[in-house]
């Protein structure tokens, strides 16, 4: 053991990966290498994980980050604003843009591009709106992310599609970048349209062009989004820490329908929950509203409607017959993973896109807010076709490689 620790003292951080792999100048003798691996935990890589400053963007990155950390690697998540709440997941987090406000960026973008804004609110802008919004977001993330990368010197940067500043930082410090998809939209497409508008940040950091990611991780089930290139990985739903209230962990005497709203507030308010409350008396089911806003919370609730604060949605879905939601990718993927039929309201951004994909697969219904009615909600929990298709997608996702299985492939990228 003394010999093992002597070798560890000799190792400089930059040599650890080559020695651990058993090659490189001054490689450790085989016996000492085996003992080192067996007796000592050493962080072999520094991995920086970059996300846009929203919970729905950073939460899907938690399972792989945890898997890399469990394998002994140093993992730091770089994000900002509400995304910083991911520190409750037991991961190191660095803030990279203390003054960023997504709401302010969105308002400026809408005022400057009213036609695109109108199409975005209708869910019909394609990638035009997202390119405008997230190029501005990434312009504000870029300086802090590059500064962190220069200081911390990661071996690899993992970033989600709308944190293209991660690819910029990787190019600046000369390390590989891995694209980690976190939605039902094609990641490389989002990178491309956002990077085209990141001209100011690229000029500031003297990066002429962003090299392609060395690998792309796709978490969306192929039967929903079609075949994609890259590495498939099971989407492990994560919506924060916490436990279910006792009454929600118990079986309900009637089918339970959970109703969730977006973590990102938008213009015009959210009428989804109030529409469900109005229709609920005509449905033989128990409704659970998660985090209702003040307006909905002040309403007089029917006898079959209850409210609850922040609750871990993945755990709750295991006790539900259906879910009604706003169309966010995180909620849609969580419901698909749980095999729970979903009713998705067509909405702005990618929400109409997500709703259409789930409905086309037959695992849910896509409706406008005005179409939420008792008969629609009854169909959600009584249509056996919806239930069967949702269960099939759940089985498909369960068969996808777990995050732990991708760790060796990521390690191989820098050895």
Task: Give the 3-state secondary structure of residue 2.
Answer: helix
Quote the distance between the C-alpha of residue 145 and its chain's center.
19
Q: What percent of the chain has pLDDT over 70?
A: 88
Mean pLDDT calculated for residue range 364-384: 96
What is the layout of strands, in order, in the sheet containing 177-180?
Answer: 92-95, 74-79, 46-50, 156-159, 177-180, 215-218, 231-232
CA distance 78 to 76: 6
CA distance 357 to 289: 24
Number of C-beta neighbours around residue 30 at 10 A: 9
Task: Judge whether 52 and 79 are in contact, CB under 8 Å.
Answer: yes
Of residues 109, 33, 41, 107, the one with CA closest to residue 74:
41
* Residue tagged 């501005």 (tokens): 136
Backbone angles phi, psi at 161, to 5 degrees: -60, -35
Instruction: Look up residue 312 and give its two tokens.
Output: 């871990």
Span between the terminal Cα atoms of the chain, in Å: 26
Q: Is the dihedral of CA 98, 99, 102, 105 positive or negative?
A: negative
Check residue 66 and give its pLDDT: 98
Cα–Cα distances (Å) from 337 to 31, 181, 187, 225, in that order, read: 45, 16, 20, 14
Check residue 13 and give its pLDDT: 39
Lowest pLDDT segment from 9-13, 147-151, 317-321, 396-400: 9-13
Instruction: Look up residue 167 and give its two tokens.
Output: 């690819």
Please, what is the average pLDDT of the chain?
88
Mean pLDDT calculated for residue range 256-276: 78
pLDDT greater than 70 at residue 193: yes
pLDDT greater than 90 at residue 348: no
Mean pLDDT calculated for residue range 235-244: 90
Mean pLDDT calculated for residue range 315-330: 95
* Residue tagged 């996808």 (tokens): 400
pLDDT greater than 80 at residue 162: yes
pTM > 0.85: yes
pLDDT greater than 80 at residue 263: no
Mean pLDDT calculated for residue range 107-122: 90
CATH number of 246-398: 3.40.50.2000
Domain with CATH 3.40.50.2000 in the chain: 46-235+401-412, 246-398
Confidence of residue 120 (pLDDT cuts 50, 70, 90): confident
pLDDT greater than 70 at residue 129: yes
Q: Tell me which DSSP letter residue 336 carries.
A: H
Check residue 26 and give its pLDDT: 46
Instruction: Look up residue 307 and give its two tokens.
Output: 């409210």
Task: Give the 3-state secondary structure of residue 108.
Answer: helix
- Strand pairing report for 92-95 and 74-79: parallel
CA distance 66 to 407: 10
Check residue 32 and give its pLDDT: 56
Which residues, including other chains, have CB under 8 Å from residue 145's CB and lie 6 or more apart? 50, 78, 96, 165, 166, 168, 169
Task: Judge whether 277 and 302 are in contact, CB under 8 Å.
Answer: yes
CA distance 258 to 288: 5
Please identify, in words, the CATH class of the domain defined by 46-235+401-412.
alpha beta
Q: Is the dihedral of CA 275, 276, 277, 278 positive or negative?
A: positive
pLDDT greater than 50 at residue 71: yes
Number of C-beta neighbours around residue 305 at 10 A: 23
Of residues 221, 228, 216, 83, the one with CA closest to residue 158:
216
The dihedral region occupied by 412, where left means phi > 0, alpha psi between -120 and 50, and beta the remainder, is: alpha
Cα–Cα distances (Å) from 405 to 2, 243, 338, 408, in that order, read: 33, 27, 21, 7
Number of C-beta neighbours around residue 399 at 10 A: 10
Lowest pLDDT segment from 3-7, 86-90, 252-256, 323-327: 3-7
Instruction: Look up residue 204 and give its two tokens.
Output: 């500031």
Lowest pLDDT segment from 76-80, 216-220, 288-292: 288-292
State the DSSP string of 355-384: HHHHHHHTSEEEE-GGG--HHHHHHHHH-H
CA distance 294 to 302: 17
Confidence of residue 29 (pLDDT cuts 50, 70, 90): low
């Amino acid at each position: 053991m003394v010999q093992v620790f002597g070798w560890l003292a000799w190792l400089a951080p930059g040599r650890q990966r080559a020695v651990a792999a058993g090659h490189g100048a001054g490689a450790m003798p085989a016996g000492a290498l085996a003992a080192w691996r067996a007796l000592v935990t050493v962080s072999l890589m520094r991995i920086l994980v970059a996300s846009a400053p929203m919970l729905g963007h950073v939460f899907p990155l938690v399972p792989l980050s945890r898997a890399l950390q469990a394998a002994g690697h140093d993992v730091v998540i770089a994000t900002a604003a509400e995304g910083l709440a991911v520190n409750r997941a037991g991961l190191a987090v660095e803030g990279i843009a203390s003054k960023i406000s997504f709401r302010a960026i969105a308002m400026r973008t809408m005022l400057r591009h009213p036609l695109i804004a109108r199409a975005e609110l209708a869910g019909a802008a394609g990638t035009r709106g997202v390119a405008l919004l997230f190029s501005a977001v990434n312009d504000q993330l870029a300086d802090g992310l590059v500064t962190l990368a220069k200081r911390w010197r990661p071996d690899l940067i993992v970033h989600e599609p709308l944190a293209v500043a991660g690819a910029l930082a990787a190019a600046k410090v000369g390390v590989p970048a891995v694209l980690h998809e976190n939605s039902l939209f094609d990641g490389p497409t989002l990178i491309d349209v956002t990077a085209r508008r990141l001209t100011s940040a690229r000029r500031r950091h003297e990066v002429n062009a962003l090299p392609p990611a060395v690998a792309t991780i796709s978490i969306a089930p192929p039967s929903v989004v079609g075949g994609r290139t890259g590495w498939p990985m099971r989407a492990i739903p994560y919506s924060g820490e916490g436990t279910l209230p006792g009454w929600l962990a118990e079986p309900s005497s009637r089918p339970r329908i959970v109703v969730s709203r977006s973590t990102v507030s938008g213009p015009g308010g959210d009428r989804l929950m109030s529409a469900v409350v109005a229709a609920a008396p005509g449905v033989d089911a128990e409704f659970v509203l998660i985090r209702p806003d003040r307006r909905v919370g002040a309403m007089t609730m029917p006898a079959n409607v209850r409210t609850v604060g922040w609750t871990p949605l993945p755990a709750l879905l295991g006790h539900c017959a259906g879910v009604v939601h706003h169309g966010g990718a995180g909620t849609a993927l969580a419901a698909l993973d749980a095999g729970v039929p979903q009713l998705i309201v067509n909405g702005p951004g990618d929400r109409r896109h997500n709703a259409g994909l789930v409905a086309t697969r037959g695992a849910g219904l896509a409706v406008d807010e005005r179409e939420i009615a008792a008969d629609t909600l009854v169909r959600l929990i009584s249509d056996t076709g919806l239930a069967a298709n949702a269960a099939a997608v759940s089985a498909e996702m369960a068969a996808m490689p777990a995050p732990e299985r991708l760790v060796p492939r990521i390690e191989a990228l820098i050895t």
